[in-house]
Copies of this chain bind each other. A is one copy, B any other.
Amino acid sequence: MTDFNEAMSATAEAVSEVLDDILEQTEGPENRLLEAMRYSALGGGKRIRPFLVVASADLFGVARASSLRTAAAIEMIHCYSLIHDDLPAMDDDDLRRGRPTAHIKFDEATAILAGDALLTKAFEVLASAETHSNGEVRADLCLAYAKAAGDRGMVGGQMLDIVAEGHDVDVPEITRLQRMKTGALISVSCESGAILGRASASARTALRGYAHDIGLAFQIADDLLDVEGTAEEVGKATGKDEAAGKATFVSLLGADRAREQANMLVEQAVDQLNFFGDKAELLQELARFIVNRRS
C-alpha cells in the first residue's frame, strides 16, 4: 500500500470512529432515527471530503481532534444529501454504496427525518466547544458550511439539476450547476482546514483554487464512471444519466474530451498546491486519485 492509500484508509477509519461516537445509539423508541442516521453515515464510502478536511488542516498543524470532528460534520452533510437525493420524489434510487438506500431499508418518513437530523447534527458538532476552543472559529465553520450546503451551494445545485431536466443544457450551465451541487462541499472541506488553522489569505487562495479544480474534476470523473463503470464496481446503478437523457459532461463533450478536461483540471489543482511545498503531497495525490478511481 502506498503512503497515500494508507493515509486515506487511516482517515476513513478515524472519521468512522468519531461518527460512531457522535451518533451514539440510545435505548427507546426514538432509536429508529439514530439507527437510520448510523446506517447512512457509517455505511462505508471513500470519505473523500473528510480526507480533504484532515489533509488541509494538517497543512497548518491543526490538532487531529479538531479536524476529525470537522471531517465528521462534512460527512454527515454529504450523507444527508445522499439520503434526500435518493428519495422517490428525487432520483428514486434503490441502491447506494452497494446497499439498499435509506428509504428502502427503513421507510420514506424515516429517511427524510434521518437526513434532516444528520444535517442538524453537523452544525451541532461544528458549534460545539469540543471541536475548537475558539468561538470565532466555530462560528466561521458554521457559516462556511451553511453557505456551501444551502440555497447558493449544494441544495441550490440540486434544484438546478432538477430544473435542467426539462431543457437543453450547455457546458457553462452544467459547470455552474456542478460547482454548486458537488463543488461547494468539496471546496468547504478544503476551506475548513484553513479556518481551523487560521491560515493566511494567500494560503486560503491557493487552497480555494485547488478545491475549485478538483471539485469539477470529481464530477467529470463521476460522469465517466456512470458511462463506463458497472453497478458492481460503482456500488450504485450506472448508465442512469444516459437512460434519463440527462446532460452530463460526457454527453456534452464526449468521453475523450471529458477525460482530457478532468486531467487538465487535476494538473492545474496540483500546481496550485506548490505554494505549500512538500507538505501538500497527499492533497496532490488525492487530486490524481479522484480522476483515476474505479468507484
Contacts and interface: CB of A to CB of B under 8 A. Distances in A.
A128 interface: yes
Contacts of A32: 159, 163
A135 interface: yes
Interface residues of A, number: 52
30 contacts: A29-B160, A29-B163, A30-B159, A30-B160, A30-B180, A32-B159, A32-B163, A33-B151, A33-B155, A33-B156, A89-B108, A89-B112, A110-B159, A110-B162, A113-B158, A116-B155, A120-B150, A120-B151, A121-B150, A123-B142, A124-B143, A124-B146, A127-B139, A127-B140, A127-B142, A127-B146, A135-B135, A135-B136, A135-B140, A136-B139
A277 to B, nearest CB: 31
B156 A143 contact: no
Given A84-B112, A135-B138, A146-B123, A151 B117 contact: yes
A205 interface: no
Nearest to A180: B30
A135 to B, nearest CB: 3
B120 A119 contact: yes
A37 interface: yes
A291 to B, nearest CB: 28
A129 B146 CA distance: 14
Contact of A142 (B29, B139, B147, B150): B139
A34 interface: yes
The 3 closest A-B pairs by CB, nearest first: A135-B136, A89-B108, A124-B146
Contacts of A143: 124, 127-128
Contacts of A29: 159-160, 163-164
A109 interface: yes
A108 B88 CA distance: 9
Contacts of A15: none
Given A30-B151, A90-B109, A127-B146, 7 more contacts: A80-B116, A84-B113, A117-B150, A119-B120, A120-B155, A135-B137, A135-B139
**Copies of the chain in the assembly:** 2
A151 B108 CA distance: 17
A112 B110 contact: no
Given A139-B135, A151-B121, A159 B127 contact: no
Contacts of A159: 29-30, 32-33, 110, 113
Contacts of A126: 142
Contacts of A120: 119, 146, 149-151, 155
Contacts of A127: 139-140, 142-143, 146
B33 A113 contact: no
A180 B117 CA distance: 13
A292 interface: no
B109 A162 contact: yes
